Chains A and B, each alone.
Chain A
Amino acid sequence: MKKNNFCCSSACCKEFEIEENVFVNYGWSEGLTCTPAGKVRIVKAKLELTDKLGAIAVRLGINRNNYKIPPGLYAVGNPLDQSPVLVTANYKLTFDSLRKELSGLNVWILVLDTKGINVWCAAGKGTFGTEELLHRINQVQLQKVISHKTIILPQLGAPGVAAHDITKNTGFRVIYGPVYAADIPRFLNNNLKAEENMRKVRFALKDRLAVIPVEFKYVPKLLPVLFILLFVYNLINPAGIIFAETLYQTAYNLIPYLVAFVLGTVGIAALLPYLPFRSFALKSLFLGFIWAAIVSINSSVFFFPDSSLTAAANILLLSSITTFFGLNFTGSTTYTSLSGVQKETLYTVPAVAIASLIGIGLAITYKISLFIP
């Protein structure tokens, strides 16, 4: 087995450091290798508990804006000048998703500074882009490390990178690899030829559900506010203030509203292909209205008064909540277009606003009616 012949004393390696803090210890790194362009960190091709916990945390919205690694060149296994170069983003979840598929391989990983954002989103914004790729190729002096002229980009980086411009400026040929990192070993083995199914993006149930938990960070913020508003509303009645009973009633009142939120997030995600209409607003209105109708028919179960005013108010408000969050889900999909989302939003947001105002108005009207003999 041909070994990397570059020794690691400063006499052999260039003084040039690829990153400022090369000697900081990262749990995902297992040492350094020397290249003609300086020292390069070797990364593990297996995830550890801390990586998996980190992934769960960012899926819940914890530390999501700061979950990144330093950009630059990294090694997996024992890559040499002929080894392939895989380009990726510096969002740690992306980096981990990539390296866990590379066990047993000898490759270089070129990490771009996408400010801690994943490949596809960064490509859309332009940070996983032509300019950054050019900058990074030069910064790590890639032409000194590899003897071939090919770099492999994730297919979903394409919106941000003009392959022909990279070639024009660096002489490196850009090959777009598969959409999913799991297909990389087969892709590399197949002479860098991607099969048709490697080039299509999916949105299966597990993909749809994975992007939902991050929306739940709104709950601890909105739920107390909703509780207090509803509690004050319930407190006001001609019979006088009955504190404990009102607390109890308010808690029950909130249950349908919590369910409406869950339907607009988990519900729409899980049932997406099965709900009627192409529009997300209509799909979620369909789901939300069914629930709202069930609640109104069984209003006493949730301690709502027996009034058509509050029944109508609940239908309008519950449907609005599910519809609003269902529309919001368009931002988390792999197939909605900007033009389509704009069109939907233009109709839906005013409708939801008006429906909510009418609902609140009806609720207030009911409250006032209690005081009129």
Chain B
Amino acid sequence: MGLAYLKNVTTLNLNTEKCTGCRICTEVCPHPVLTMKDKKAVIVNKDACMECGACATNCPASAITVRAGVG
């Protein structure tokens, strides 16, 4: 997209230990924030996170937290 917002502000947090590798977070994220590596989700572009909450809401293992607000 070429558009980037402020750096180092997002409240996105991923607990790799709790991650079950279901990959739903990588499917619902509307930006290139997450990807799968060695059967676990990893954050590859933290500053691209817009804190929409899709990943956290859909993680069945509660491995992701983010302060999403009302969008």
- Residues of A whose CB lies within 8 Å of any CB of B are 120-121, 123-125, 155-156, 158-164, 176, 179, 194, 199-203, 272-273, 278-279, 334-340, 343-344
Known: A158-B57, A159-B68. A199 touches B30 (CB 8 A): yes
Q: Which residues of B contact A199 (CB under 8 A)?
A: 27, 29-30
With A203-B1, A337-B50 in contact, do A158 and B6 touch (Cβ < 8 Å)? Answer: no
Interface string of B1-35 (1 = CB under 8 A from A): 11111110111000000000000100111111000
B4 to chain A, nearest CB (A): 6
Measured between C-beta atoms, what is the minimum distance from A210 to chain B in Å? 16
Query: In the complex, what residues of B have CB within 8 A of residue A161's CB?
Result: 57-58
Q: Is the CB of B71 within 8 A of A121?
A: yes
Instruction: Please tell me if B43 contacts chain A, counting CB pairs below 8 Å.
Output: no
Q: Are B1 and A278 in contact (CB under 8 A)?
A: no
Inter-chain contact B6/A278, CB cutoff 8 Å: yes
Given contacts A159-B68, A338-B68, A340-B6, contact A201 B57 (CB under 8 A): no
A120 to B68, CA, bound (A): 13
Q: Are the C-beta atoms of A335 and B5 separated by less than 8 Å?
A: yes
Contact B67 A339 (CB under 8 A): yes
Residue of B nearest to A344 (CB): B6
**Can you name the residue of chain B whose Cβ is closest to the Cβ of A123?**
B71
What are 5 inter-chain pairs, A to B, with CB distance below 8 A?
A159-B52, A200-B31, A272-B3, A339-B11, A340-B6
Q: Please, how many angstroms separate the alpha-carbon atoms of A162 and B22 in the complex? A: 14
Residues of A within 8 A of B69 (CB): 124, 338
* B21 to A: closest C-beta gap in Å: 14
A residues near B28, Cβ cutoff 8 Å? 155, 158, 176
Whether B2 contacts A273 by the Cβ 8 Å rule is yes
Chain B residues with CB under 8 Å of A201's CB are: 30-31
Count A-B pairs with CB separation below 8 Å.
98
A159 and B54 form a contact (CB under 8 A) = yes
Between B5, B24, B60, the greatest number of chain A beta carbons within 10 A of the residue's beta carbon is seen for B5
Query: Which of A125, A176, A335 makes the CB contact (< 8 A) with B50?
Result: A335
CB contact list, B23-71 vs A, under 8 A: 24, 27-32, 48-54, 57-58, 60, 67-71
Expressed in whole angstroms, the Cα–Cα distance for A202 and B2 within the complex equals 10
Q: Is the CB of B31 within 8 A of A335?
A: yes
Docked CA distance A194–B24 (Å): 13
Q: A200-B32, A272-B3 are in contact. Are A159 and B67 (CB under 8 A)?
A: no
Chain B min CB distance to A155 (Å): 6
A163 touches B6 (CB 8 A): no
**Contact yes or no, A335 B1, CB < 8 A:** yes
Asked whether B53 lies within 8 Å of A124 as measured between CB atoms, the reply is yes
Chain A CB count within 10 A is highest, among B1, B11, B49, for: B1
Contact A164 B58 (CB under 8 A): yes
A121 to B68, CA, bound (A): 12
With a cutoff of 8 Å between Cβ atoms, the chain A residues found around residue B32 in the complex are 200
Find A164's partner among B4, B10, B60 (CB 8 Å cutoff).
B60
Q: Is the CB of B30 within 8 A of A334?
A: yes
Closest residue of A by beta carbon distance from B52: A159
A161–B24 Cα gap in the complex (Å)? Answer: 12
Nearest CB of chain B from residue A8's CB, rounded to whole Å: 40
Q: Which residue of A lies closest to B30 (CB)?
A: A201
Q: Which of B4, B30, B32 has the most C-beta atoms of chain A within 10 angstroms of its own C-beta?
A: B30
B residues near A339, Cβ cutoff 8 Å = 9-11, 51, 67
Contact partner of B4 (CB less than 8 A), chosen from A194, A278, A343, is A278
User: Which residue, of B52, B53, B58, B70, has the highest number of chain A Cβ atoms within 10 A?
Assistant: B52
B1 pairs with A202, CB closer than 8 A: yes
Bound Cα distance A208, B32 (Å): 20
Among candidates B2, B7, B30, B67, residue contacting A338 with C-beta atoms closer than 8 Å? B67
| Distance from A204 Cβ to chain B, minimum over Cβ atoms (Å) | 8
Do B3 and A203 have beta carbons less than 8 Å apart?
yes
Q: A203-B3, A335-B31 are in contact. Are A163 and B70 (CB under 8 A)?
A: no
- A359 CB to closest chain B CB (Å) equals 27
Residues of A within 8 A of B3 (CB): 203, 272-273, 335
